[in-house]
Homo-oligomer: A and B are copies of this chain.
Amino acid sequence: MGKRFISACLALLALTASAHAREFARPETFTLRNGLQVVVITDRRAPVVTHMVWYRVGAADEPRGYSGIAHFFEHLMFKGTRQIAPGEFSRTVARNGGEDNAFTNWDYTAYYERIARDRLELVMRMEADRMRNLRFSDETFNSERDVIVEERRQRVDNSPGAVLGERMRAMLWPHHPYGTPVIGWLHEIQSLDRERALAFYETWYAPNNAILVVAGDVDAAELRPLAERYYGRLRPTQNLPARTWTRDPPNVGPMRVTHSDQKVRQPSFSRLYRAISYGTDTGRQAHALDVAIEILGGSETSRLYRALVEEQRIAVSAGASSSTSGLGGGSVSVWATPVEGVTLEQVEAAADAVIAAYLRDGPTEPELTRAKNSLSANAVYTRDSQESLANMYGASLAQGESIDDVVNWPRDIEAVTRDEVMTMARDTLDIDASVTGWLLPEEGR
């Protein structure tokens, strides 16, 4: 499972940042007596269901010094219970024509199965079982740790861009847990132990800290008895800890970091800005920011792309994106990859000129309309995908939003004004709240 987590996270981030539909049907929801929230998104187009359990726990909840524990469970949750032998979970799903997956973020950990409607009860039984009854030996734990260390080596440590990105985040969030990578720092993964992992599991993996999202050929009246049968008997965690995270001190000024590695073929410039998020904003701020950044760099018609790639022809790619789904705050990234013969200094200066002009003049009406339409178009795509809808509701609820927030999202995007866009762009694209990263080949130093 672990191998898939980074691409799953990226897909999900992109999705929750920008993709809600112009009108979302309101899902049915109910809560079991043990605290499990259930969301049902009926979709009768095909006799299939997407079954997801979202835990309100992620990398940001790890005890300091034990990074990687949250992601570790992406692996451990497939190691069996008294009912299910190690590895049997995924084999059973596959044997029944389904597929499964899992992913971890700073805010949540989610487990996913897509399967024929008549096998829903099977995956509910197995998923409920492993919510409270996971069993794994020291041996299993240690061998899985080696797998994760190898995963980190491949995905991060062998990727200069990923190494740079990790450090940029650590600088952007110097004290907040978002500065720690989801997969964990290598030396901390290596020293994780079964006992600490079990304590984490027993605290956080509980019905009163989870959201069950079922999308597909089922409605709440059909689902409720099944949910009661399999999840209803599970014991909640008493005194569930509050998700109180350390906050960062105020920004002091622009930060920079350069990473050089012989594996780099293509130098690149990137920048992260601190931003609000749907979890931390008030009113329509995150909506306005999503629109603002879509205009700046969300597509090939955006300001950055047109200026750097098409007009000045100094970059092979350039863009910006907002990451606004976080429970504890968000970020905006801006990037450009220069064409041969152009320096990072030049593309950075060009990007800064585009940003300065944007902050001075604001968006045009056509840009505003196009950006809103583009976000809505992504939303339409989301609405049409059972899995994406389930993802969207699960992630949004796990990240502090309500069903109303999600349902109203398309309307709120539509309502964003030019003034709101300019305010959020100016508040966010503040060099004093930024980290700039340069990625260079070793010989470029």
Interface residues of A (CB under 8 A from B): 64-65, 163-164, 166-167, 170-171, 174-175, 179-180, 185-188, 244-247, 249, 252-260
Contact = CB atoms under 8 A, between A and B. Distances in A.
Contacts of A255: 167, 171, 255-257
Contact of A187 (B174, B245, B247): B247
A258 B252 CA distance: 8
B174 A249 contact: no
A260 B249 contact: no
Contacts of A185: 175, 249
Q: How many protomers of this protein does the assembly include? A: 2
Given A170-B175, A175-B170, A252 B163 contact: yes
A200 B65 CA distance: 19
Could you say which of A167, A179, A188 has the most chain B C-beta atoms within 10 Å of its C-beta?
A: A167
A255 B163 CA distance: 14
Nearest to A260: B253
Contacts of A253: 164, 167, 257-260
A246 B65 contact: yes
B164 A252 contact: yes
Nearest to A167: B252
A68 to B, nearest CB: 12
13 contacts: A64-B64, A65-B244, A166-B249, A167-B255, A170-B175, A174-B179, A175-B180, A186-B249, A253-B258, A253-B259, A253-B260, A255-B256, A255-B257
Nearest to A180: B175
Given A167-B252, A256-B256, 12 more contacts: A64-B64, A64-B246, A65-B244, A166-B252, A167-B255, A170-B175, A174-B174, A186-B249, A253-B257, A253-B259, A255-B255, A255-B256
A241 B228 CA distance: 44
Contact of A252 (B180, B246, B254, B257): B257
Contact of A259 (B64, B244, B252): B252
Contacts of A164: 252-253
A367 B249 CA distance: 42
Nearest to A181: B249
B249 A187 contact: yes
Nearest to A64: B64
Nearest to A63: B64
A244 B196 CA distance: 15
Contact of A256 (B174, B180, B252, B257): B257
Nearest to A439: B253
A163 B432 CA distance: 13
A66 to B, nearest CB: 9
Contacts of A246: 64-65, 188
A253 B247 CA distance: 26
Contacts of A244: 65
Contacts of A254: 257-258
Q: Which 8 A-B pairs have the closest CB atoms?
A: A65-B246, A256-B256, A253-B259, A64-B64, A170-B174, A167-B252, A253-B258, A255-B257
